[in-house]
Structure 1
């Protein structure tokens, strides 16, 4: 049996091959040593007298030790993990003040400390480097955080955390920096205190007051009969646990939850990742995938689900070839690209099936919601039904679910044999009639194409082939402008479906409502210019309408919506995806500025005007429209407190507007892409980070760029690229337009073709 240690001398070591090896506190309640959890080997502090020896602090949570490792307090006073060959693998701690370390100690509080002499101050302590748990007598000072583990068996730093904020609030956040709990104790600075009685409170030293966080009625008495711990679990919920030291009539011999920041794991935003949905299971939760999806990692379901089914060829789409699989009592939060109200379930099914581009829809409270991919924050929701589109030739049951409930257009499917007999009978009876009808349709179709070709704008180049639509055609295509996608400075955008020679295709119809008076000639001229553009990163203009007072533009439809909703959604987009989006936008702007036959200045670059297709390729929208606005619409309100937004300073100084105004706007947007946040946070205006462009420069000068991507591990592992992109952005937002690079040079700097010099203060 391992012996208690009061002082651990230099040269002492523990081997992972010896299961009994540990450094134990004087009371025997805590120990330090190796713990195997799942397939991983960790070194840390644990409750020694509990049968499962619960690990409460893992020194190497992000770097599990290799088999055969040892942990050693070296003669130099460093606590290190060595691999099986004796080579240093991971450094746990040492003196930061230059004083020599002579010993270590495992204290009865669960605190592992390094000292220069017995009874002296701690030169290093585990309490100063908390992972996911705090213990009685431990405090959390301002900005100290607890990070949730990835899973119960993978303890690496997870997506969620809880922090003692400088405003006095104890707040938990999801991986996209969305608050999920707040103690509502803001107003004065404080620190979190976990006392020996099991209570958690905030001591506000400026007021010399204590505010209790955990209700006193929840704490069992006498507290000396229980072990306690406060842990943020892998679902992002912070829980206060107790464990009876002896027999108890009221508490089971296990860790019991006595208080938690959320009642249900499934209430946590994005807990099951993209496309997954959460279900309660045995006081915990499980993540499931809809039909046609599979786990990104079956061993770590919270990473979400990938879509397995191939993208539907909408040119060949026939709703009758597809059925709907129903997931009862499930909903996905947000991500609605179209909503229809006051509709019954059968109508919702038909509306969904008719849309080739929609994979999943939700019916709830007489409303039908078409969901944008990827799906987010799926969970059990009573009264809701999720419909998943499945091919009748290749349907599959729900992952982990029961029998399939597949219907076609809301009705039970016939047997395939019965369908074949009916189809053969109908074909044999009507084949002659079908041939005649097909001939008539072909003749009419050719005449219509000839007529439409005659309606091409005469002044346009023949290769453009923009189509001129009648207002009635667009009214029909949009079902009387029913599905509104959004609105902006140029007008309102509606979704529609249009039949072309190559099949039916979704379209976006922009209804312009702020044009110059008597601007017919200008409208056709600008449409002609827009029509001659063609680039991978520009939204394609398909046609227009200039009938009477109506001015409408018809664009290709973008499935994934705007960059704004993508960046600020419930799940933080991957770093590499954001990098590629930034590069694509730069290439699109370079094309508009330098490669078009007629140079185009956008004048309104912002995330709302960047759209994403099904492959997350960015496409610039609303280019070429600035000249069409009425003069009173081009004036910009300068009375905006504390921010310049996306608007370049020369707009306010009556200077000539050049392509450099787009460069400025791109720089602001590039910072938003890097940080996944808005350029201005109204609720943070009194903080240094309130205005993004100013904060980014301060972080750059102060060599604290990691602060900009604090909760983004992929970005933090790619700080060289983060630094380069921030430097490019700072060059773009220089107040002096002559100092800003061209978009061609911006593209070259981002892609590494030219070096990026140190940028000056943008406001200097």
Structure 2
């Protein structure tokens, strides 16, 4: 246990130390620039082992970070990785106003580093991390926080973050596989464009946990860990052989999700001839175990230790130059004929020890002969698996096809016969009919002319009907006042009847607010649960909230904001469709549940809420003041991630605004003092509300509670401040076990947030840093209202 504590301490010492300004760094001044073909083309680290700038990709150039090793370029990070190759006249500029911009050959500008503030200088560090600093030499952006397919020694992959493989070995565009550090502590490999379900996963660490923030960490000695609070799960390390360990001082380590979907750990040891690359560890020994390594209707096999794809019988490669794209049928379908008639156009080919990933649509007990005949006669059946008198029929296309010697399945694959092709002998024997009678020719002509006239009339009637329906739809759109709404937000437009059916006539109510009620619904035949908010108050006020919510979150997307999926604006009906939050509101769990969330879970929820508010204040195109932060508006999803909802009272700031005048908005008990003083409102109003919510999270009770034994405890904020001054914070936990330092820090953060003077309250960025333990929290003064 002591050795584990030492490893954990050293791990986090190196991690936290990476945040400070290093002693050795290359100073890149404002006004510096790079070109793909004229010097300088890159900025080197002080050790000259890493470079940031332009590198060759295909017929052009890309921007990234690479390990410098002669002619061989090992790319470890790529900017705008899915952008087409850049031309030779592109320029990377570190502008005088502190922005890192790419100027393309067409004069377009693209932001490379989306820093929160203007930078004053930049550095390419010896660790392989490219960073931007503000005027106080604090890091405001770093490439380590935005990994692509690689993490380096000293780098962390946080929970919820992912690595995406490259497209090919030399093309670093987004590829077909991704590695996900899940919130549940499991590190999992999936193919892209899947549901990331357990059935899609092809490798995982099985490090499930609950209650703390997980992250993957590669230390500078080449050990790979999954860290969770006080728990350390070793993925690779501590058992390396002595030959590897002896060179670790000269080694650079990287963990990369390669283009073939295998997660590997490499070491680069420098000697006189350059870097010697070694593969230390890989997640999978057999690349053929990677799901979707081969596309539809194909399977993977090994040839001289190299994986390659083979098409199933009856199919050919979609693209012979890219075998991983899958296969398609190489014969024309005869069309569906009932029963035995269908069987005369197809045949069955058998293959042993073959399996695939999708579930069958029919499973029936029968012999292998009956299974083969049943698939031939079934229009939907493209293949079947047979084992132990069980027939499992499957539709095409087949995915995740693989060889499996252990299961012992026999695959029955339907293929086309020559009789359905144009050159088959059956069609060749068909007698040719030659018509010589003039009467028959006239009849054929009249029938053909009649069919042509009828077809033209049908097309004209159809065209007229479509035109009139479009005109009526356009008029209805104008009458409803919805013209131009789709230009403002890119959301799905639902009809009222569609949402009425989805909610079963607005039957199951989830909650009710001042402007209307929220109902549970199901879309896509019950596969997608949603929450439908129906605005029911006065038309003017309901319309104002409707448009406020559309503007507030129609264009935003953040893991700590409830996602808006669509809307309905039909006649006077106004409805909003949100993702369904299965675990209710934070208020339910803090104030109503028999068992409150444990301390670690409450810390995580507090951090989630802070990140969501930070996004609204500083990371949107225009700053958004939520105006109604309270536990009832914090909802919990399936994974207990806290998300902010209800933007009906939100207020927007113009680009040059920091404050604005508006009427009182929000809920009593969470309102900042400036709401009552008729003074301009800023984002600090949300900070005050968050401070009250943070105190409620710490104590699991409301801010104002009349039914208490001690009169001093009625107002939570006043009582907590008295306990803080008296160093008696153990009273507010009521016997619950918790980290005393963390409790004190959270209380101090909350007391800073509820200062009466907005200027004394911290920004949400500072709140996040303080809650994460990155920034030290000073002793807060007594809020003015408590001292009166």
TM-score (norm 1): 0.50
> How many residues end up aligned between the 2 structures?
459
Structure 2 distance, partners of 1:110, 1:6, is: 12
After TM superposition, the structure 1 = structure 2 runs for residues 139-288 of structure 1, keeping only pairs within 5 Å, are 139-158=156-175, 160-174=177-191, 175-179=194-198, 180=201, 181-187=204-210, 188-205=212-229, 207=230, 209-218=231-240, 220-222=244-246, 223-246=248-271, 255-280=277-302, 283=305, 285-288=307-310
Q: Which residue, out of 108, 119, 128, partners 2:126?
A: 108
Residue 393 (structure 1) aligned with residue 414 (structure 2): no
1:389 to 1:212, Cα distance in 2 relative to 1, 3 A: closer
Question: How far off is 1:58 after superposition?
Answer: 0.2
Aligned with 1:14 (options 13, 19, 34)? 34
Are residues 760 and 244 of structure 1, via their aligned partners in 2, closer, same or farther at CA, if it must alter by over 3 Å?
closer
Task: Determine whether 1:83 maps to 2:107.
Answer: no
- Alpha-carbon spacing, 1:586–1:10, altered in 2? closer, same or farther (3 Å): closer
Range that drifts further, 192-201 or 37-46 = 37-46
Contact 2:91 2:104 in 1 (8 A): yes
Q: Is the 8 A contact 1:40 1:154 kept in 2?
A: no
Q: In the TM superposition, what is the alpha-carbon distance from 1:125 to its structure 2 partner?
A: 1.5
2:379 matched to which residue of 1?
356
Q: Tell me what 1:92 maps to.
A: 112
Which of residues 651, 655, 669 in structure 1 aligns to 2:523?
Answer: 669
1:172–1:182 Cα contact (<8 Å) kept: no
Contact in 1 for aligned 2:418/2:424 (Cα 8 Å)? no
Aligned to 1:369: 392
Assess, with a 3 A threshold, how the Cα gap between structure 1 residues 312 and 357 changes in structure 2: closer, same or farther.
Answer: farther
40, 57, 70: which one aligns with 2:77: 57
1:114–1:705 Cα change, 3 Å: closer
Q: Is the 8 A contact 1:95 1:124 kept in 2?
A: yes
Superposed CA offset, 1:280-323 (max 9, x none): 45656444443454555666555544456444322384423322
- Distance in structure 2 (CA, Å) of the matches to 1:197 and 1:284: 30
In the alignment, the residues of structure 1 paired with residue 265 and residue 316 of structure 2 have an alpha-carbon distance, to the nearest angstrom, of: 34
1:534-572 deviations in Å (ceiling 9; x for gaps)? xxxxxxxxxxxxxxxxxxxxxxxxxxxxxxxxxxxxxxx
Q: CA deviation at 1:333?
A: 1.7
Conserved in 1, the CA contact under 8 Å of 2:156 and 2:217?
yes
State how 1:322-361 maps to structure 2 within 5 Å: 322-341=346-365, 343-344=367-368, 346-361=369-384
> Separation in 1 of the partners of 2:57 and 2:526?
39
Q: Please say if 1:313 is aligned against 2:335.
A: yes
Deviation (angstroms), 1:155: 2.7
Measure the CA separation in 2 of the matches of 1:116 and 1:650. 54
Give the gaps of 5 or more residues in structure 2.
1-23, 432-489, 511-517, 532-547, 581-645, 650-788
How far does the alpha carbon of each residue in 1:604-639 deviate from its partner, in whole angstroms, 9 at most, with x for none?
x89xxxxxxxxxxxxxxxxxxxxxxxxxxxxxxxxx
1:236-263 Cα distance to aligned partner (Å, 9 max, x none): 4432222343499xxx986443333344
The 1-side partners of 2:370 and 2:345 are apart by: 18
1:74 corresponds in structure 2 to 95
* Contact 2:530-2:579 at 8 Å conserved across structures: no
Contact 2:566 / 2:576 at 8 angstroms: preserved in 1?
A: no
- Structure 2 contact 566–578 (Cα < 8 Å) conserved: no
Q: 1:24 to 1:5 in 2, by over 3 A?
A: farther
Deviations 1:157-195 (A, max 9, x none): 345433444444444444322243145152332433211
Preserved CA contact (<8 Å) 1:230 1:241: yes
Distance 1:183 1:194 in 2: 18
The answer on whether the counterparts of 2:222 and 2:237 sit within 8 Å (CA) in structure 1 is: no
Contact 1:5 1:105 in 2 (8 A): yes
Contact kept in structure 2, 1:648 and 1:664, CA below 8 Å: no
The alpha-carbon distance between structure 1 residues 319 and 182, as it changes in their structure 2 partners (threshold 3 A), is same
Cα-Cα RMSD: 4.9
Shift of 1:373: 2.8
